């Protein structure tokens, strides 16, 4: 094998290559490094951070089982075709929500997760209607099996109807308290 190497492999070094890159004074100015972001072309009037922040703050969520139990025990219940809503007046300065999807609606976790996403989005898109309420509530939204067969529009419409019922009952309570004070 060593005879073969001596006969067939050259030991001469190749001549040094000349630099093929043309160097200019402004050659690298247009290139950006990977870790640098390109400069913005125009000013942006919309704050992207608020547009892309779809999460509910932790303060706006019911997280403890005791909070859910309190709403179930003392709250008012509204039945719908796609969801069941429990509400209880809250001492906080904002609406809080808790969302549940039990194994009754599906044994598959991805179905339950989809149902919870639909209800979360329903609550988020109804923010304008919820802000019109004078009293702040703790909301518990329970998914029903029929929610899995529909898109967002139907549960959103149903939730907004429930919010309008809450608003009407809120007005009626206000009128009743005014009448009670008058007597």
Mean pLDDT for the chain overall: 81
In the chain, the domains with their CATH numbers are 58-178 (3.30.230.10)
pLDDT at 52: 54
Task: Compute the distance between CA of residue 111 and CA of residue 142 in angstroms, rounded to an integer.
Answer: 14
Are the C-beta atoms of 159 and 123 separated by less than 8 Å?
Answer: yes
pLDDT digit string, tens, across residues 64-83: 999 999 999 999 999 999 99
CA distance 69 to 19: 75
Name, in order, each residue with C-beta under 8 angstroms of 22's C-beta and a sequence gap of 6 or more: none
pLDDT digits (tens, 9 = 90+) for 70-117: 999 999 999 999 999 999 999 999 999 999 999 999 999 999 999 999
Global pTM? Answer: 0.66
Residue 75: Cβ within 10 Å count: 18
Q: What is the average per-residue pLDDT within 139-168?
A: 95
Residue 44's Cα: distance from chain center in Å? 24
Instruction: Supply the pLDDT for residue 44.
Output: 47
């Amino acid at each position: 094998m060593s005879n073969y190497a001596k006969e067939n492999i050259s030991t001469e070094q190749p001549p040094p290559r000349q630099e093929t890159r043309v160097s200019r004074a402004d050659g690298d100015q247009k290139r950006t490094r990977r870790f640098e972001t390109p400069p913005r072309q125009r000013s942006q009037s919309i704050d992207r951070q608020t547009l892309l922040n779809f999460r509910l703050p932790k303060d706006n969520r019911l997280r403890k089982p005791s909070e859910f139990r309190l709403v179930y025990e003392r709250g008012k219940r509204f039945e719908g075709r796609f969801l069941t809503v429990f509400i209880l007046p809250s001492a906080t300065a904002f609406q809080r929500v808790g969302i549940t999807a039990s194994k009754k609606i599906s044994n598959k976790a991805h179905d339950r997760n989809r149902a919870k996403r639909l209800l979360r989005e329903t609550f988020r898109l109804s923010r304008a209607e919820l802000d019109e309420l004078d009293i702040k509530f703790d909301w518990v939204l329970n998914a029903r099996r029929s929610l899995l067969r529909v898109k967002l529009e139907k549960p959103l419409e149903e939730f907004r109807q429930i919010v309008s019922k809450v608003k009407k009952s809120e007005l009626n309570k206000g009128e009743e308290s005014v009448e009670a004070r008058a007597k």
